[in-house]
Structure 1
Amino acid sequence: MSEPKENRDSVFPSITRRSLLKAGSALVTLPFVMSGKSFAMQANAPETAQASGAAERVVQTCSTFDCGGKCDIRAHVADGVITRITTRPDSELDPQMPIMRACVRGRSYRKFVYHPDRLKYPMKRVGKRGEGKFERISWEEATTLIANNLQRITAQYGPACRFVHNNTATSGGTFSGDKMMRRLLNLTGGYLEYYHSVSMGNTAAATPYTYGAVASGNSLDTLAETKLVILWGHNPTETIFGHSNHYFQQMKQNGTRFIVVDPRYSDTVASLADEWIPLLPSTDNALMDAMMYVIVSENLHDKAFIERYTLGFDEASMPEGVPANESLVAYLMGDKDGQVKTPEWAEKITNVPAQTIRQLARDYANTKPAALIQGWGPQRHNCGERTARGSTLLATLTGNVGIKGGWAAGYGGCGNRKFAAGPEMPDNPVKESISIMNWVQAADDASKVTADAGLKGAETLNSNIRILFSLAGNYLANQNPDLHQAVKVLEDESKIEFIVASDLYMTPSARYADLLLPETSFMERWNIGETWGTASYLILSEKLIEPEFERRSDYDWQREVAAKLGIESQFSQGRTEQQWIEHIWEQTRLSMPDEHLPTFSELRVQRKHLFKSKPYVAFEDNIRDPQNHPFPTPSGKIEIFSQRLYDMHNPEIPALSHYVPAHEGPEDALAKQFPLQLITWKGKNRANSTQYANPWLQEVQVQKLWINPLDAQQRGIRQGDTVRIHNARGICQVPAEVTVRIMPGVVAMQAGAWWQPDAEGVDHGGCANVLSSARITPLAKGNSHQTMLVEVAKYASAV
């Protein structure tokens, strides 16, 4: 719907000549490589800086988005403007802890910060929720609205009606608006908390049922001598996952063999793989089962390791009181169900040839050591918990747990990572919590959120969600599974009474705000960057430029709200944002005396601290000395069979992780109507949906639907045709990319595109969340948005 001119002008007011020059000075040459050709964007920032005679300083910094690299960004600052971005020169490489060079995302941050579409002023909604109609107001009015609504709504419904949503755009730093919002709410009665990580919560919940602990990955420097790496649904080349690529490329050059198991021929396959094994999504466990059958039937398993460290391999090693034929061997040989888990059995399910399965199993079992590293994509299916545990069983059978060069699989996070202290958080008086997957139900009808659905700490919720804060998050009305279901609740103003959104841009989620606030970018505030994966360093993210227009950091306006609630001194403790960062750094120094962290003044010169920990192998002590270091499971052993899961009596989370056909998987009856499985991937040009608005990065990778030529031919689809992807939940319309890089029966789109519905509700942005399901996983009560059946048709526009 078009907006009246007065509203458009209030949202995007005229730009002064000075601000236009500043914005223009942020544009400089940025090379891109697309389809084998080199492109560049040229502007005059260096000339502008030189012409003005401004002294340039170069500052090493990092972003604090939900981006794993925390790569080395060198911001060139002159006259209060970022003129260009470079990165770490090769001469500064530290082989003991390689900080990443900036990727295409890092090199394009200036265009994201200096963009005319950034929000400029606080605004309140004047139309219906979702219309995107706002009018400019003052910060005094904005903070008064927040304070008054907090007091009114809390008095009426109690503190459990208050909710702070998932806010990943700032989760890469130790200090953020959503953390401080939670601090403010705890000081005024508390709020409804959520648990579960949308990124990796299913595997984090499942892995402890094998090992008793979540972190099951090694530091990557322990893989230097590994002869074989199987990357199972893992795509670090595009996701920029820690500094994996640095080590993997070194290993590749030194002769390590890489096999990638993935339905899509990703950039990781192109850059690393000696072999690509595509399989149908959600059938991972069938492939794993058949591999285990080959390993056991061909006597390739590590008998000594299994006998000493495990429980549940065969009938002789089962816990007392469990009926016969519940062991791994009994399952593989079909002793209970009559189905032997041969490669031929798995081929019919996975579409992986039986001989390929045999060779993969033999290669993994016979190569010593070998590392099976599972990504987080496979565990985002509704069978993801089983897939996560299945990989741990393979690692256990082959004796690759707790040894240098091996990998315990499962969650894969490294247990020796170190983090900054973070701001102190007062206790939350509200004890109940929900899965992040329950928030729509909690806003719609709190009685729907039961213990079976994921409620913790109470039998029932006392109130629906009535006030919601979305600070640097686009999950609300973009990344949320079954987007139409979520939006229906958001549009109903009798449900959530007051929504506050703070962001850099008018995102799809921001359009549903009652109060919309212009946030600062990471270049306009203070923070400490923290890494993902197996990286181990902290880096200062310093305020480099002053925010323009009326942009303010969340902490800045939260202090005003706290003052109007009478708790400012308790909330801020008299600290500015920079003083909080100094305080957090000092607390971090005190908590890590052996690391000899620099003082904050020294950090401002050094910019970063590398921990340079010794090589770390998960469960090494448990394997070296099981008597004194038993696994933290009930049995003290690696539990191939989990009594805890067995006692749940849930067929979807079997005690022995194995294949169970997935809802909306290839064996679902729904596949007759919607025969294609749609998956998404995290692309190189944005972190989730962050930076979608960056035009440079939109050129890096255009939003399309990947479809195999066989599937395209059956539907009369040619390269570049506009297609409609649809199921019972929604319709999405994008161009087709007809390519053999996706296997038959599967289609794929990059995740994180912004939802752009037309008047009929058809999405034109390529947002897969209009098609994804809100079904929760059985164990973690987590997300399964990767499991979705669709049909694709060529779009014929009306004449």
Structure 2
Amino acid sequence: MSKLPPAAIPEGFKPHSSHWGVFSAAWRDGKLTVAPHGGDPDPNGIIDNFPEAIRHKARIAKPMVRRGWLERGPGPDRRRGRDEYVEMEWDAVLDLLGAELIRVRDKHGAGAVFGGSYGWSSAGRFHHAQSQVHRFLNFAYGGYVASVNSYSSGAASVIIPHTFGGYEDMTKHNVTWDQIAEHTDVVLAFGGMALKNSMVAGGGISQHVERGAMQRARARGCDFLLVGPLRSDLPEEAGAEWIANIPNTDTALMLALTHTLVADGLHDRAFLDRYTVGWPVFERYLMGEADGQAKDADWAAPITGLSADAIRALARRLAGRRVLVTVAHALQRAEHGEQPVWMAGVLAAALGQIGLPGGGYAYALGAIGYYGRRSNAVPSPTLSQGRNRHGNYIPVARIADMLLNPGKEYRYNGQTRTYPDIRLVYWAGGNPFHHHQDLNRLRRAFAQVDTLVVHELAWTATARHADVVLPATMTLEREDIGCSSHDPLLVAMHRVAEPFGQARDDYDIFADLSERMDTRDAFTEGRTTREWLAHLYERTRESLAAQGLPAPSFEEFWEAGHMALPQNPDDGGPWRAFREDPVANPLPTPSGRIEVFSETIAGFNEPSCPGHPAWLPPEDVPRAEAPLHLVANQPATRLHSQLDFGGHSIASKHRGREVAAMHPDDAAARGIGDGDVIRLFNARGACLAAIRLSDGVKQGVIQLQTGAWYDPADPEEETPLCVHGNPNVLTRDVGTSALAQGCTGQLTTVEVERFTGNLPPIRAFDPPGAAVHHPVAAE
């Protein structure tokens, strides 16, 4: 059997895994101790959130029902987020919820239920909350209104299939970190490749290799060029040259770089002729023949904040070298986010490096841990969600639009669609008060439904707005199998702790609810959790056996704790094959080639996304009332908002609040000093944060990471001050374009001032008020 040496799991520790790393854990003197996987060269400190979090006061101990919903019954209610809760016993609350599910199903049908989950709650492949809730709704209702795409890559996941082919081919089966270390001359990283992002991977990650690969590439002579407002978006090991452009102007810079290549005759015309379609149409736009404005360096300079000479010099520096162009998710989480994704690929095509080892275009490399790695040669254990026979869906970032505007038409990917009339939202595994924008608008949206049900391990803002709150176990309180399609380690995730209070696994909750809806046998297939794990493992074992490789039984795997999996060769994937023979190995685009101009997209007639990449000026730009760009990026000390109350996350705060970063000159102009508490505000809302001064932030920009739990000073107000530092009270809830309707939450504009009043207390982690003895609950 292939397994890790015993030293990988310390004596007395049990193996486990998380999205941010494989680890092991044990109890020592009544305190949880965690240790990173012994083979990880650069472990992620987020695992240090577990010890403080596992028995924290923020955990939910018993089923809770919102008082107003319990007393008055289902229906729209603006008291959500303001009301107290009533404790109930499991049988009673499941009877109550089962009756409500049946009422909605019988009266309104599957089209009135939205199944919300974002899939990041556990690295385990069985206790994958998204699969569990969707499986339940498929068997209990025959379907539900689903969501498509993600907050992270909403624009890219729609534009890439039209223009470059498979999204996973572009991200997962493309240039690897080993290729960069060995072959790349220049990495042109728009938005950087921040290690805080690549330290995380769905299903777990056993080896964080990015820092080491960049260090090896740099030692060999590779130049890393970071384009973006934050110097920290590449690690020190890369030795990056920082090109600090104005946020959301990357497309203009890419156009100007391409213009210089064409004007100087440095573009690879042979590559463009053989591997792309539509270049002549785009070239007319680029050179100004179509609209009278050449997209040259002089045009781009005032837009980007860079000098024309610097832009031309950068373009000439790229020609003739093995160049890899990358674009962070951040760039497409903004107005017209489709454009930089498309234009970066066109720039790479003009350089002619696509398909070469370490060259070309690798969208989102560095954005998540399983990009830039070899894929596994055997399938991962996966729980079937069943079939959604209803079939309706929305783009994931449009949930508030849907709830506020039932029956309204909207455009998405060339279609005119209609928002459904949602009566019940069932959320398990996720916190939209982290992911979503304009949280005051989201509060109004959740007030519209009849019933909001949440499975949660702690009192997130979403749980505080729910009508029925069911306490779910933390990953350490479950058994599961951890794995990723691009990590060579299968992990037996042993239970480390008993469930907190009366918390239960999502599977057990759904199994008992299914019994109340006469669908238990279909949902469970008669299996316990351990039997499901053995069943799901069998697919992987059979594949190993078919390849003549050691294929241990489930019991042997479980006892060993880890098992190494074979991986496919680093052969460049579909892009290498396409370069070698574009006729035999066409891309899955309408033309089989890279679509510099897309007839399909042009045929949609969307002014917000024309038929070729273009500069479309954003509406949300600095003005007198909001003169600073706010960059609301992903956090470094937690995954999204998970375990914000954990020790590692808490240690990163100052005076209990999230920390923002801004340039010393911007702070001095406002009388702000390092460590002060500031108020960030605009027309949508306001929040408090502590301030850290840094010359690694471009002047005119303030950075505040997401994930601090929403904490309104006075929940009774319509637009309360968030005292903890959640930037999504400030961000705009609008789509990237009518094509993708992606999230634009990365960027907005704000003003900042020093906060001089009495500091409000942080109550984000305090349980809400509860009416323990309630006459309705006792019936």
TM bin (shorter chain): 0.7 to 0.9
Give me the whole-angstrom Cα distance separating, in 1, the residues matched to 2:260 and 2:481.
Answer: 48
Query: In the alignment, does 2:599 pair up with 1:650?
Result: no
Amino acid paired to 2:429: A
* TM-score (norm. length: structure 1): 0.84
Q: What's the counterpart of residue 439 of structure 1?
A: 399
**Alpha-carbon distance change, 172 to 655 in structure 1, aligned in 2, over 3 angstroms:** farther
| Equivalent residue in structure 1 for 2:411, among 442, 452, 461 | 452
Q: What's the counterpart of residue 277 of structure 2?
A: 311
Q: Deviations over 1:98-119 (max 9, x none)?
A: x565311013322222324321
Give me the whole-angstrom Cα distance separating, in 2, the residues matched to 1:293 and 1:454.
Answer: 29
Q: What's the counterpart of residue 24 of structure 2?
A: 74
Give me the whole-angstrom Cα distance separating, in 2, the residues matched to 1:572 and 1:437.
Answer: 31
Give me the whole-angstrom Cα distance separating, in 1, the residues matched to 2:547 and 2:28.
Answer: 38
Q: What's the counterpart of residue 748 of structure 2?
A: 788
| Equivalent residue in structure 2 for 1:768, among 720, 724, 727 | 727
CA apart distance, 1:380? 0.5
| Equivalent residue in structure 1 for 2:691, among 708, 715, 736 | 736
Q: What's the counterpart of residue 335 of structure 1?
A: 289
CA apart distance, 1:181? 2.0
Give me the whole-angstrom Cα distance separating, in 2, the residues matched to 1:617 and 1:701.
Answer: 42
**Alpha-carbon distance change, 84 to 429 in structure 1, aligned in 2, over 3 angstroms:** same
Q: Please state whether the residue corresponding to 1:587 is helix, strand or coil.
A: helix
Query: In the alignment, does 2:642 pair up with 1:686?
Result: no
CA apart distance, 1:793? 2.3
Contact 2:147–2:396 (8 Å) recurs in 1: yes
Query: In the alignment, does 2:380 pair up with 1:420?
Result: yes
Q: What's the counterpart of residue 24 of structure 1?
A: none
Name which of structure 1's ranges 503-512 and 432-441 shifts more when overlaid on structure 2. Answer: 432-441
Contact 1:129–1:513 (8 Å) recurs in 2: yes
Give me the whole-angstrom Cα distance separating, in 1, the residues matched to 2:520 and 2:676.
Answer: 57
Give me the whole-angstrom Cα distance separating, in 1, the residues matched to 2:729 and 2:393.
Answer: 27
Q: Deviations over 1:448-474 (max 9, x none)?
A: 2x2426797x9545x521111221211
| Equivalent residue in structure 2 for 1:120, among 43, 58, 61 | 61
CA apart distance, 1:306? 1.7
Query: In the alignment, does 2:252 pair up with 1:286?
Result: yes
Q: What's the counterpart of residue 368 of structure 2?
A: none
Q: What's the counterpart of residue 355 of structure 1?
A: 309
Give me the whole-angstrom Cα distance separating, in 1, the residues matched to 2:221 and 2:556.
Answer: 41
Q: What's the counterpart of residue 555 of structure 2?
A: 601
Q: Which has the higher contact order (CA 8 A, sep 6+)?
A: 2
CA apart distance, 1:590? 4.0
Give me the whole-angstrom Cα distance separating, in 1, the residues matched to 2:586 and 2:438.
Answer: 43
Amino acid paired to 1:72: V
| Equivalent residue in structure 2 for 1:381, among 334, 340, 355 | 334
Equivalent residues in 2 for 1:231-270, closer than 5 Å: 231-239=189-197, 240-241=199-200, 243=208, 244-266=210-232, 268-270=234-236
| Equivalent residue in structure 1 for 2:706, among 738, 751, 754 | 751
CA apart distance, 1:426? 2.4
Q: What's the counterpart of residue 659 of structure 2?
A: 704
Q: What's the counterpart of residue 75 of structure 2?
A: none
Q: What's the counterpart of residue 427 of structure 2?
A: 470
Q: Deviations over 1:757-793 (max 9, x none)?
A: 1125011111111111110122212111123121222
Give me the whole-angstrom Cα distance separating, in 1, the residues matched to 2:471 and 2:754.
Answer: 40
Give me the whole-angstrom Cα distance separating, in 1, the residues matched to 2:390 and 2:590.
Answer: 31
Give me the whole-angstrom Cα distance separating, in 1, the residues matched to 2:491 and 2:247.
Answer: 38
Q: Please state whether the residue corresponding to 2:725 is helix, strand or coil.
A: coil
Q: What's the counterpart of residue 221 of structure 1?
A: 178
Contact 2:434–2:640 (8 Å) recurs in 1: no
Q: What's the counterpart of residue 51 of structure 1?
A: none
Query: In the alignment, does 2:503 pair up with 1:519?
Result: no
Amino acid paired to 1:679: V
Name which of structure 1's ranges 126-135 and 380-389 shifts more when overlaid on structure 2. Answer: 126-135
Q: What's the counterpart of residue 19 of structure 1?
A: none
CA apart distance, 1:132? 5.4
Q: Deviations over 1:12-33 (max 9, x none)?
A: xxxxxxxxxxxxxxxxxxxxxx
Give me the whole-angstrom Cα distance separating, in 1, the residues matched to 2:94 and 2:41.
Answer: 40
Contact 1:435–1:782 (8 Å) recurs in 2: yes
| Equivalent residue in structure 2 for 1:193, among 121, 146, 155 | 146
Give me the whole-angstrom Cα distance separating, in 2, the residues matched to 1:530 and 1:451.
Answer: 38
**Alpha-carbon distance change, 83 to 705 in structure 1, aligned in 2, over 3 angstroms:** closer
Q: What's the counterpart of residue 17 of structure 1?
A: none
CA apart distance, 1:411? 5.0
Q: What's the counterpart of residue 633 of structure 1?
A: 589
CA apart distance, 1:337? 2.0
Give me the whole-angstrom Cα distance separating, in 1, the residues matched to 2:257 and 2:507.
Answer: 52
Q: Please state whether the residue corresponding to 2:724 is helix, strand or coil.
A: coil
Name which of structure 1's ranges 437-446 and 495-504 shifts more when overlaid on structure 2. Answer: 437-446
Give me the whole-angstrom Cα distance separating, in 1, the residues matched to 2:524 and 2:405.
Answer: 35
Give me the whole-angstrom Cα distance separating, in 1, the residues matched to 2:453 and 2:563.
Answer: 34
**Alpha-carbon distance change, 445 to 336 in structure 1, aligned in 2, over 3 angstroms:** closer
Give me the whole-angstrom Cα distance separating, in 1, the residues matched to 2:48 and 2:431.
Answer: 23
* TM-score (norm. length: structure 2): 0.86
Contact 2:483–2:489 (8 Å) recurs in 1: yes
**Alpha-carbon distance change, 304 to 594 in structure 1, aligned in 2, over 3 angstroms:** farther
| Equivalent residue in structure 2 for 1:479, among 435, 441, 447 | 435
| Equivalent residue in structure 1 for 2:318, among 337, 341, 364 | 364
| Equivalent residue in structure 1 for 2:100, among 137, 140, 149 | 149
Give me the whole-angstrom Cα distance separating, in 2, the residues matched to 1:508 and 1:384.
Answer: 28
CA apart distance, 1:642? 1.3
Contact 2:122–2:129 (8 Å) recurs in 1: no
Q: Please state whether the residue corresponding to 1:501 is helix, strand or coil.
A: strand
Query: In the alignment, does 2:623 pair up with 1:663?
Result: no
Give me the whole-angstrom Cα distance separating, in 2, the residues matched to 1:595 and 1:109.
Answer: 39
Contact 2:492–2:557 (8 Å) recurs in 1: yes
**Alpha-carbon distance change, 665 to 166 in structure 1, aligned in 2, over 3 angstroms:** farther
| Equivalent residue in structure 2 for 1:298, among 264, 272, 279 | 264
**Alpha-carbon distance change, 603 to 455 in structure 1, aligned in 2, over 3 angstroms:** farther
**Alpha-carbon distance change, 287 to 754 in structure 1, aligned in 2, over 3 angstroms:** same
Give me the whole-angstrom Cα distance separating, in 2, the residues matched to 1:769 and 1:61.
Answer: 32
Amino acid paired to 1:766: G
Question: Over the residues paired in the alignment, what is the CA RMSD in angstroms?
Answer: 2.5
Task: Flag structure 2 segments of 5+ consecutive residues without an equivalent.
Answer: 1-9, 69-78, 202-207, 366-370, 760-779
- Paired residue total: 706
| Equivalent residue in structure 2 for 1:562, among 509, 514, 524 | 514
Contact 1:435–1:454 (8 Å) recurs in 2: no
Contact 2:381–2:539 (8 Å) recurs in 1: yes
CA apart distance, 1:741? 1.5
**Alpha-carbon distance change, 587 to 284 in structure 1, aligned in 2, over 3 angstroms:** same
CA apart distance, 1:259? 1.5
Give me the whole-angstrom Cα distance separating, in 2, the residues matched to 1:728 and 1:339.
Answer: 35
Give me the whole-angstrom Cα distance separating, in 2, the residues matched to 1:56 and 1:182.
Answer: 39
Contact 1:184–1:562 (8 Å) recurs in 2: yes
Contact 2:349–2:360 (8 Å) recurs in 1: no
Give me the whole-angstrom Cα distance separating, in 1, the residues matched to 2:84 and 2:522.
Answer: 36
Contact 2:644–2:708 (8 Å) recurs in 1: yes
**Alpha-carbon distance change, 688 to 467 in structure 1, aligned in 2, over 3 angstroms:** same
Q: What's the counterpart of residue 575 of structure 1?
A: 527
**Alpha-carbon distance change, 660 to 166 in structure 1, aligned in 2, over 3 angstroms:** same
Percent identity at matched positions? 27
Amino acid paired to 1:227: D
Contact 1:235–1:266 (8 Å) recurs in 2: no
Give me the whole-angstrom Cα distance separating, in 2, the residues matched to 1:523 and 1:232.
Answer: 37
Q: What's the counterpart of residue 163 of structure 2?
A: 210
Amino acid paired to 1:222: Q
Query: In the alignment, does 2:47 pair up with 1:88?
Result: no
**Alpha-carbon distance change, 170 to 722 in structure 1, aligned in 2, over 3 angstroms:** closer
Give me the whole-angstrom Cα distance separating, in 1, the residues matched to 2:495 and 2:646.
Answer: 21
Give me the whole-angstrom Cα distance separating, in 2, the residues matched to 1:329 and 1:438.
Answer: 35
CA apart distance, 1:612? 2.6
**Alpha-carbon distance change, 74 to 132 in structure 1, aligned in 2, over 3 angstroms:** farther
